């Protein structure tokens, strides 16, 4: 869980606070870097308004955009800048009209030019706890040489810190003018990126504290910045009572030696239309009877389709949703990132105390990844849910309706604690279904296959199909009796 401390300053972005293990360390200077439109100024607004909410004095020093423009842009994304003090050092129109020049710092360190005096007077008067400087690289164009720029910026940051301020400043770097010197000067570096794969945020430096490494998904919304940290499973551990999750179908529970083990991951595999989703809903129906909450994330079908399907086979999905024991969430794979989906799932588990999660289906989840490593993401997600005592069900659709039986990719089957498979059978020119278990990591299971039916009264599971051979080929035949003839059909 979060390790936020009273000695940290909240950034104003919940996900970033989690990445920074609680927020910024006070009285230090942090660099936010990235290209145009990455959200650097928006992050600064979060930082300052978070200070206002804590009753702190805050100061926005702008060297590029005029104050009026900053306020207008902030208002358009819902920021209330009431209480934010501005020091507007952006160029005035008179500079062009009169062809004037000016300096921020004098080469002689003892000399105080007017602009420097404005900064000093504002800081000494306000005594701000938070200062946001946008953008520090504007000073570079006004310094006489790189050494002078480095020395002036370093002394400027030290002045602010000695006055009791925590400083966040931005840079506008390019190949021609890199900001490596500012990265060395700062106590922490936050990198914002924006490419066709989406927006990300990462922390490459954070003195005096650990932080969560890696590139984390980020969004710019009408509420500002949202950050979705990568899940680190070992950071989330919750004690839970072990036990079996019954399906409510006695024959199915016999096959599973009592049901699915709580806090495990189950892969349900089978061809299209064989009943994979219905089987998962059956476990949720039984959980609802115990007052436990479940959630289905559908990455393919519409919510209305799931509801209709459940109602047609005596699984009261609509009433379960109304009672709050079930939530069916439509996730459009091309609109969400994998980290954003994980954040959504975490909220469901930690805030709503959900006990069963079903992802329908693996093919849709793969689209969320945008080419990223499926196994790594699924491992972290599954391990997190197991650590939280949540039972995970993943639906995987096989391509072949009949023919040689093939399980999913080896890596995915390795991640699952349990593997249930549904199979079409052609028996005497009739298409029928069967169910079996390939793997249960935490308990024993029945090694036979049973007939599986979906009726308007619900799911039915028959007796073991002990007289059939070649079931996994999809075209079974009855075994021959010792004296000739076939084993009678069940």
Encode pLDDT of 211-269 as tens digits: 999 999 999 988 899 999 999 888 888 888 889 999 999 999 999 999 999 999 999 99
Banded pLDDT at 471 (limits 50, 70, 90): low
What span, in angstroms and rounded, lies between the C-alpha atoms of 381 and 143? 50
Residues in the chain: 490
Q: Is the peptide bond before 135 cis (omega within 30 degrees of 0)?
A: yes
* 422 close to 435: Cβ distance less than 8 angstroms: yes
Average pLDDT across the chain, whole number: 86
Task: Give, rounded to a whole angstrom, the gap between the first and last alpha carbons of the chain.
Answer: 53
Residue 270 scores a pLDDT above 70: yes
* Domains of the chain and any CATH numbers: 14-230 (3.40.50.300), 244-478 (3.40.50.300)
Question: How far is C-alpha 369 from the geometric centre of its chain's CA atoms?
Answer: 11
| Predicted local distance difference test score (pLDDT) of residue 269 | 92
DSSP code of residue 476: -
| Predicted local distance difference test score (pLDDT) of residue 472 | 60
Q: Per mean pLDDT, which of 29-33, 168-172, 385-389 is the most reliable?
A: 29-33
Q: Give the CA-trace dihedral at 215, 216, 217, 218, to 10 degrees.
A: -110
Bridging pattern class, strands 29-33 and 166-171: parallel
Bridge partners of 460?
Answer: 453
What span, in angstroms and rounded, lies between the C-alpha atoms of 170 and 41? 8
User: In terms of Cα–Cα distance, which of 230, 175, 178 is closest to 200?
Assistant: 230
Tokens of 36: 């145009």
| Predicted local distance difference test score (pLDDT) of residue 403 | 56
Q: Per mean pLDDT, which of 23-32, 88-97, 467-476 is the most reliable?
A: 23-32
E-assigned strands of 95-162?
A: 130-134
What span, in angstroms and rounded, lies between the C-alpha atoms of 327 and 318? 9
Residue 107 scores a pLDDT above 80: no
Strands in 265-270's sheet, in edge-to-edge order, are 326-330, 293-298, 354-360, 391-397, 265-270, 418-427, 430-440, 450-455, 458-464
| Predicted local distance difference test score (pLDDT) of residue 405 | 57
Tokens of 266: 């189950």
Q: Is the peptide bond before 392 cis (omega within 30 degrees of 0)?
A: no
Banded pLDDT at 371 (limits 50, 70, 90): confident
Tokens of 421: 């498979």
Residue 487 scores a pLDDT above 80: no
Place of tokens 């990844």: 369
Question: How far is C-alpha 13 from the geometric centre of its chain's CA atoms?
Answer: 14
Q: Give the CA-trace dihedral at 12, 13, 14, 18, to 10 degrees.
A: -100
| Predicted local distance difference test score (pLDDT) of residue 139 | 77
Residue 480 scores a pLDDT above 70: no
% of the chain residues with pLDDT over 70: 86
What span, in angstroms and rounded, lies between the C-alpha atoms of 221 and 80? 16
What span, in angstroms and rounded, lies between the C-alpha atoms of 3 and 18? 8
What span, in angstroms and rounded, lies between the C-alpha atoms of 436 and 471? 10
Question: How far is C-alpha 442 from the geometric centre of its chain's CA atoms?
Answer: 29
pLDDT digits (tens, 9 = 90+) for 108-137: 343 335 667 888 899 999 999 999 999 888
* 339 close to 230: Cβ distance less than 8 angstroms: yes
Residue 166 scores a pLDDT above 90: yes
Cα separation values, 51 from 73, 191, 387, 470, Å: 19, 22, 35, 69
Element (H, E) at 397: strand 391-397
Segment 182-190 mean pLDDT: 95
pTM of the model: 0.82
| Predicted local distance difference test score (pLDDT) of residue 479 | 63
DSSP code of residue 9: B
| Predicted local distance difference test score (pLDDT) of residue 410 | 53
């Amino acid at each position: 869980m979060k390790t936020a401390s009273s000695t940290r300053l909240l950034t104003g972005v919940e996900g970033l606070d989690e990445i920074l293990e609680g927020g910024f360390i006070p009285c230090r200077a942090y660099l936010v870097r990235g290209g145009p439109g990455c959200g650097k100024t928006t992050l600064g607004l979060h930082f300052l308004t978070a200070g206002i909410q804590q009753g702190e004095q805050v100061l926005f020093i702008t060297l590029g955009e005029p104050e009026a423009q900053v306020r207008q842009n902030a208002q358009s994304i819902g920021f209330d800048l009431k209480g934010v003090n501005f020091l507007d050092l952006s160029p005035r129109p008179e500079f062009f009209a009169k062809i004037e020049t000016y300096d921020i710092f004098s080469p002689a360190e003892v000399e105080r030019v007017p602009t420097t005096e404005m900064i000093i007077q504002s800081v000494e008067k306000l005594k701000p706890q938070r200062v946001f400087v946008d953008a520090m690289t504007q000073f570079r164009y006004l310094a006489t040489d790189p050494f002078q720029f480095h020395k002036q910026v370093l002394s400027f940051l030290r002045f602010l810190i000695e006055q009791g301020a925590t400083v966040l400043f931005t840079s506008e770097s390019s190949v021609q003018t890199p900001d490596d010197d500012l990265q060395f000067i700062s106590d922490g570096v936050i990198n914002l990126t924006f490419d066709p794969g989406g927006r990300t945020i990462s922390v490459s430096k954070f003195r005096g504290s650990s932080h969560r490494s890696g590139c984390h998904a980020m969004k710019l919304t009408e509420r500002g910045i949202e950050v979705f940290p990568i899940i680190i499973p070992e950071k989330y551990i919750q004690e839970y009572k072990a036990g079996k999750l019954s399906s409510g179908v006695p024959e199915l529970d016999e096959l599973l030696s009592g049901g699915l083990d709580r806090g495990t991951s189950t892969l349900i595999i089978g061809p299209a239309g064989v009943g994979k989703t219905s089987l998962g809903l059956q476990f949720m129906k039984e959980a609802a009877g115990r007052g436990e909450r479940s959630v289905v994330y559908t990455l393919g079908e519409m919510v209305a389709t799931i509801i209709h399907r459940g109602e047609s086979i005596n699984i009261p999905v609509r009433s379960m949703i109304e009672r709050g024991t079930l939530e069916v969430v439509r996730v459009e794979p091309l609109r969400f990132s994998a980290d954003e989906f994980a954040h959504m799932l975490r909220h469901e588990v930690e805030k709503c105390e959900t006990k069963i999660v079903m992802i329908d289906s693996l093919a849709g989840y793969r689209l969320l990844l945008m080419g990223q490593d499926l196994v790594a993401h699924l491992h972290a997600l599954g391990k997190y849910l197991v650590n939280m005592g949540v039972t995970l069900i993943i639906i995987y659709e096989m391509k072949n309706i009949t023919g040689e039986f093939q399980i999913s990719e080896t890596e995915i089957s390795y991640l699952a604690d349990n593997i249930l498979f549904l199979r079409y059978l052609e028996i005497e020119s009739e298409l029928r279904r069967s169910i079996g278990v390939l793997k249960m990591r935490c308990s024993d299971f029945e090694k036979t296959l049973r007939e599986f039916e979906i009726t308007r009264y619900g799911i039915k599971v028959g007796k073991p199909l002990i007289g059939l051979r070649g079931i996994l080929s999809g075209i079974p035949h009855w075994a021959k009796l010792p004296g000739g003839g076939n084993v009678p059909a069940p």
